[in-house]
Amino acid sequence: MKIHFLGIGGIGMSAQAIHEHFSGNVVSGTDPYSSERVNYLKSLGIQVFKSHLPENIDNADLIVRTPAVSEDNVEVKKAKENGIPVISRLEHHISILRPYTKIGVTGTDGKTTTTAMLAHVLLKLGKDPTVFLGSTHPMLEHGNYRKGSNIAVFEMDESQPGFENYNPDYLIITNIRGDHIENFKNLQHYNSCFENSCKNVKICVSNVENNIINNSIKFGLNDGDYKINKIENNKFSQKITINTPYGKKKFILNVPGVHNALNALSIISLLFEMGYEKDLVLEAFSDFSLPKRRFDISYNENDIVIIDDYSHTPVEIKSLLSTAKSVFKDKKITIIFQPHRYSRLKREWKNFSEALSLADKIYITEVYGAFESKNGISARLIVEKINNAIFVQEKEELLQILPSEPGVYIFAGAGDIIEISKKFKEKVGGLKV
């Protein structure tokens, strides 16, 4: 079968393309953006076209498209004229997961870290999971994908209606915070999709702060069937004591942050309930490392620390800065934040202002639109409410105005702010990254 992916370089699409490639299908795709994932796909022998052209889909049996690709796309139009099926990334993902025992992870924040953590624990337990990850991690042979046997660990992207149709056997819901509401009819519709995602699963675990999920095992910071009793911080690691239906337990988590302790607790809740050996589950967290762009310390020289992070919601930004302040108690924290999507900024700008205020110094770039139109809003809104914040219209200006003094510099956002981080590393370290 010949399958053509539109937007093949995306983190989710590329994982699905790699899966099809190693399942024996002929895979190609189109993506106008050069990226590490596009280059990796090419290294596997997958043909990637840089421009959308009708002839790209010649001889294709199936077209898979990302939501960013519209009905007016020339490849979509030609496919429909020629009777070639066109399905969404979501529909394709659901279809390729059907043969597996499925363990899904969904929620507003923490999906990728929790998925990576779950895959890590299962591997330590001697299992052979197939993994689809929304980032890259060195434990996975192909970065964002691992071809295993009959268990699949994957993220359920909650940004569009339809994620409730994954029908996993087991499900973790990290939290429900009302992001991406613009893609749903209303908040009730958004919440109902989470409720429906949990209806037919064998075991569902959900954050106790979200009381809309009935018939689930609850985990939480101070409440729930599984709850955190105590956290002892040692800079980058945490000694965590938890209360469980099976008594009080302790484990070491080798990454910082209360949010990561909760991510680990969600996994413990699920695997304990699935019947895995409890002591082995707890031991597995001791050497876990975070995925790319999740509190990713990409530079640490001459008293300058650079962290790359994907955080792009107010709650994630607050957790990120709280973690940085607890790890680097004696250092000045500077955050360089690129808001992601105009719709999110319009809805959350006051919450962003509050969360970002935890930093000592704040630089805000204009919004990374992610294919959304401006809609008359600017990231300047955030800056107006914070005394120690500077707005930067063009992100390249940051390289002229950011000081090269000791401290922690966090480049945060789900867009392309990582490119400025790379150039800043060159500037402060005198090296090519």
Residue 94 falls inside a structural domain: no
Return the closest-CA partner of residue 390 out of 400, 401, 399.
401
Residue 401 pLDDT class (50, 70, 90 cuts): confident
What is the per-residue pLDDT across 102-118, written as a single tens digit (0 to 9) for each? Answer: 999 999 888 999 999 99
Instruction: Based on the fold, state whether residues 403 and 283 are members of the same structural domain.
Output: no
**For residue 54, pLDDT beyond 70:** yes
Give tens-digit pLDDT for 234-260.
Answer: 888 999 999 999 999 999 999 999 999
Quote the pLDDT of residue 68.
Answer: 83
Is 124 in the same domain as 269? yes
* Residues in Cβ contact with 142 at an 8 Å cutoff, skipping those fewer than 6 apart: 15, 18, 40
pLDDT at site 430: 62
Cα(50)–Cα(46) distance, integer angstroms: 13
Contacts of 43 (CB under 8 A, 6+ apart): none
| pLDDT at 29 (0 to 100) | 97
Q: Are 375 and 349 in contact (CB under 8 A)?
A: no
Using the 3D structure, point to which of 54, 88, 122 is the last residue of a domain. 88
Do 188 and 45 fall into the same domain?
Answer: no
Contact 46, 27 (CB under 8 A): yes
Is-contact 96 169, C-beta < 8 A?
no
What mean pLDDT do residues 171-181 have? 85
Q: How many domains does the chain have?
A: 3
Q: Is the pLDDT of residue 27 over 70?
A: yes
Q: Are both 273 and 330 inside the same structural domain?
A: no
Q: What one-character-per-residue DSSP string does 219-285 give?
A: EESSSSSEEEEEEEEETTEEEEEEEETTEEEEEEESS--HHHHHHHHHHHHHHHHHT--HHHHHHGG
How distant is the alpha carbon of residue 167 from its chain centre?
Answer: 20
Neighbours of 393 (CB within 10 A): 11
Measured distance CA(134)–CA(118) in Å, rounded: 13
- Taking residues 365-390, what's their average pLDDT? 80
Please give the model's pTM, rounded to 2 decimal places: 0.87
**258 in a structural domain:** yes
Reply yes or no on whether the pLDDT at 315 is more than 60: yes
Amino acid at 281: V
* Inside any domain, residue 212: yes
Q: Which domain holds residue 369?
A: 296-429
Are 392 and 250 in the same domain? no
List the Cα angle 98/132/67 in 5-degree steps. 85
Kindly report, residue by residue over 63-101, the tens digit of the pLDDT. 999 988 989 999 999 999 999 999 999 999 999 999 999
Q: What is the mean pLDDT of the chain?
A: 91
Q: Which of 144-153, 384-393, 417-426 has the lowest mean pLDDT?
A: 384-393
DSSP tag of 143: S
Six-digit token string for 392: 């930067």
CATH number for 46? 3.40.50.720
C-beta neighbour count of 403 within 10 angstroms: 12
Taking the C-alpha atoms of residue 105 and residue 194, their distance in angstroms, rounded to an integer, is 11
Does one domain contain both 130 and 263? yes
> What is the model's pLDDT at position 433?
41
Average pLDDT over residues 392-404: 88
In-domain check, residue 111: yes
Contact status, residue 5 vs residue 64, Cβ threshold 8 Å: yes
Confidence of residue 385 (pLDDT cuts 50, 70, 90): confident
3-state helix, strand and coil shares in percent for the chain, rounded to the nearest 5: 35, 25, 40
Q: CB atoms < 10 A from the CB of 406, how many?
A: 11
Using pLDDT thresholds of 50, 70 and 90, give the confidence band for residue 379.
Answer: confident
Please check the confidence at residue 194 and state whether its pLDDT lies above 60.
Answer: yes
Can you give the CATH number for the domain in which 249 is found?
3.40.1190.10
**Closest by Cα among 336, 352, 309 to 396:** 336
Q: Which residues pair with 251 in a beta bridge?
A: 240
